[in-house]
Structure 1
């Protein structure tokens, strides 16, 4: 291992939520970022920081070193070394299942779905669902994304010269997409109510508890997550009703949607299909993840385009030349390289899953450091994507980094994870993001509002607290 990757012994390194990492001084202006911290927080301080913004517990050393370790109720190791990440995500996958904290946060809503399950139960579901998200099937869902892009443009145009919260607009657009590709042709339902239920669950149940930090068993109730039962019942009732309605439908549609594909999905090795509970859990997983993460990416991408007008102008020129006053389609993606690079760089700077974690099941060594069973392995994607050993000027917005993807080390860039558990919907999300962003940039100019920069805050996902407020003006 090179000197750059030598482990730093930081057993006592703790972040201080009040410390700002680095002083910009006369340096070039940079997009908003979370101030990483340098001094001990202690147990209660860490809890307060994590409940406010999980990223506030990240030490500044995480962007300077390949590994940082400590103890806070449980032993933990933050890993930013690509080779160590390869070992966790691929070579020793079964020895590093998802952590109990992650499962405790999400299991009430999405059960033993693909995102939560482990071992054989995960493998058969993955084999069954993988063809659903094949390139051909995802491209077939493109017209829904194109239509959502047109509707978003109309809504934004209707707001005239008033500032627009693009975070809200992108949530609405991506929710329309996931609802249409999931429930098309089914019984009518209150989409706004379902969306509110999802938002409420994330806000109420997604905050880390002191019991999580202490590593207490999942069967012990977490304060603050006990009042989500009505929200959960509402979410699950919609999924159950949609499945029942689709099973009762006599005539299948000409083009299968996500629900049709899931109902027909089967494990190619065993022929097993999902029962109604498994279908409902996975539907809710795809609904929550399928619009939340893409909406966040688009909101941040529009902020970055407003932050750098020159890049925005170049991307708009590209989009106008390709689209010529129509919305983008999957057939346009190869002709929109700069738009895709903006999405890639946005996912680097503001990864929706800013932190993921695993629980070690067997002794191991990562970066020459001993890993013990039950240690928590933290993959701080936000810090990995800004690690100075891996990226030049990591806090700068520079889509050109991705002009040649071969120059990006595979395990230095993990917006969708990697290995067998890589996000199954990554192709869907990227297609949707490029279609929507290119369409919007071809129709509108976006500019910053002084004093209203978004604030990156992570609860379950990395959101712009308070929204992404921009001035918007038509290009034509």
Structure 2
């Protein structure tokens, strides 16, 4: 349950009300099916570690040193939890996001060059074109309120479809989009079977509902991969071209069709869902604080001079980037990550036993009072000096060897789209329509981000304060 709108603007943006009393298994399950973040104890925002038992032993870790141990120093002892794998494997197989050990390492080595700085910059024009189309849709909507969360989903899906398949006629983007949406909305909800660690072959009722859409999504992706393999690249290489050419530098192994498909679907899911959420929340926050929005608009207009932002502009838009960084702090798309300890360990002086669930509640980490000044407040300027941010206190993309492979792609895309929109429109909130932060698989603004978008006239753009 989140803070709701009142007659005056709240002092801080919407946030999740964390629990103050212990919860049993069934109460935790009910709460988690509604909003995973609602099972986080409020004390997690003021302590380095919280432990308990809900069916099995669990620990929530907010101490940067202990998190570093989990994600870097003792990585192999903390693989992704059974719950996480059970939720995601039916849709994305043993791709980079789910795989462990040697199987993960060779895939990572093969895919890493795909997201080099040069390749990401080459894909910038696709992002600029999507930003232009978003502006056209917002302008066409006229003076009425626009759900910017929904438009950002459309915008970022356009980007990922274009950079993945270059508009390949063999790729049915709508079918893939339907499959992703069906899986997240129906099958992504935690089931009691997942919490108890039942194997994949035990049917999950919700997952059965979305199986047809997921199978169709995989069929479409397989056909596109095979068609491209037969056709070969044309023009600027897209993600599929780069993956087809990729090989593990150590073993010379290349991905087969199923491995390519699973990783492409991972990139498509992660590449549009998480960036769309970041942009939706960023626009909500800009509408929440008009002073921040004015400063960002002035920066964007000075750089862009009426055109869409490009990859080359990103370095000249530091305040827009700070807004995105702060949105990722307040509303991290992956608000919680879960691991299962394989061997005995010690974190924060506390015993970790084999089989214990060890959780990094990123939402609580990013709002921890020990680590952040006034943590619930929206203050983009806190990211003006990135060196002042403790590395393992801020994990929008994870960290260690498993840090998100597409982080630079996502940040470039978010800056391009947000800067272009802010340079052309003034966004203001719709009274009584604040979004509700709800996490199932990702932290979504339930109810949408409904904003009024007022076009900036040429004169207003000229007089915008620098």
TM-score when normalising by structure 2: 0.95
2:464 aligned residue: none
2:426 aligned residue: 445
Q: 1:379 aligned to 355, 360, 378, which one?
A: 360
Aligned residue for 2:229, secondary structure, equals helix
Q: Alpha-carbon deviations, 1:367-420, whole Å to 9, x = none?
A: 110000010010100000000010000000000010000000000000000000
Q: Which moved more, 1:188-197 or 1:160-169?
A: 188-197
Aligned residue for 1:182, secondary structure, equals helix
| Distance in 2 separating the partners of 1:325 and 1:192 | 32
Deviation of the 1:74 alpha carbon: 1.3
Matches within 5 A, 1:104-183: 104-183=86-165
Q: Alpha-carbon deviations, 1:115-156, whole Å to 9, x = none?
A: 000000000000000000011100110000000000000011
| Distance in 2 separating the partners of 1:413 and 1:145 | 26
1:281 aligned residue: 262
1:346 corresponds to 2:332: no
1:248 aligned residue: 230
1:419 aligned residue: 400
Aligned residue for 2:375, secondary structure, equals coil
| Distance in 2 separating the partners of 1:227 and 1:58 | 29
- Is this contact kept in 2: 1:83–1:411, CA < 8 A? yes
Q: Which moved more, 1:384-393 or 1:178-187?
A: 178-187
Deviation of the 1:187 alpha carbon: 2.1
Q: Alpha-carbon deviations, 1:327-385, whole Å to 9, x = none?
A: 00011011100000000000000000000111100000001100000100101000000
| Distance in 1 separating the partners of 2:171 and 2:405 | 27
Matches within 5 A, 1:228-243: 228-243=210-225
1:37 aligned residue: 19
2:316 aligned residue: 335
2:52 aligned residue: 70
Deviation of the 1:27 alpha carbon: 11
TM-score when normalising by structure 1: 0.93
Deviation of the 1:470 alpha carbon: 0.5
| Distance in 1 separating the partners of 2:226 and 2:196 | 41
- Is this contact kept in 2: 1:79–1:85, CA < 8 A? yes
List gaps (5 residues or longer) in structure 2.
458-466
Change (3 A) 1:190 1:125: closer
Aligned residue for 1:282, secondary structure, equals helix
- Is this contact kept in 2: 1:72–1:214, CA < 8 A? no
| Distance in 1 separating the partners of 2:312 and 2:98 | 34
Deviation of the 1:224 alpha carbon: 1.6
Deviation of the 1:67 alpha carbon: 0.5
Q: Alpha-carbon deviations, 1:407-460, whole Å to 9, x = none?
A: 000000000000000000000000000000000000000001110000000010
Matches within 5 A, 1:286-325: 286-325=267-306
1:475 aligned residue: 456
Aligned residue for 1:176, secondary structure, equals helix
- Is this contact kept in 2: 1:73–1:215, CA < 8 A? no
Deviation of the 1:254 alpha carbon: 2.2
1:11 aligned residue: none
Query: Where do 4+ consecutive residues of structure 1 move more than 6 Å?
Result: none
Q: 1:409 aligned to 376, 380, 390, which one?
A: 390
Change (3 A) 1:55 1:198: same
Deviation of the 1:197 alpha carbon: 1.8
Deviation of the 1:190 alpha carbon: 3.6
Aligned residue for 1:253, secondary structure, equals coil
List gaps (5 residues or longer) in structure 1.
1-16
Aligned residue for 2:50, secondary structure, equals strand
Aligned residue for 2:206, secondary structure, equals coil
| Distance in 2 separating the partners of 1:185 and 1:334 | 28
1:356 corresponds to 2:337: yes
| Distance in 1 separating the partners of 2:9 and 2:215 | 51
1:97 corresponds to 2:70: no
Report the number of matched residues.
455
| Distance in 2 separating the partners of 1:97 and 1:129 | 20
- Is this contact kept in 2: 1:74–1:215, CA < 8 A? no
- Is this contact kept in 1: 2:161–2:167, CA < 8 A? no
1:61 aligned residue: 43
| Distance in 1 separating the partners of 2:147 and 2:176 | 21
1:191 corresponds to 2:173: yes
Aligned residue for 1:224, secondary structure, equals helix
Q: Alpha-carbon deviations, 1:6-50, whole Å to 9, x = none?
A: xxxxxxxxxxx7xx89xx9x9971000000011122111111100
Aligned residue for 1:225, secondary structure, equals helix
1:6 aligned residue: none
| Distance in 1 separating the partners of 2:262 and 2:9 | 48
Matches within 5 A, 1:456-471: 456-471=437-452
What's the RMSD between the two structures over aligned residues? 1.6
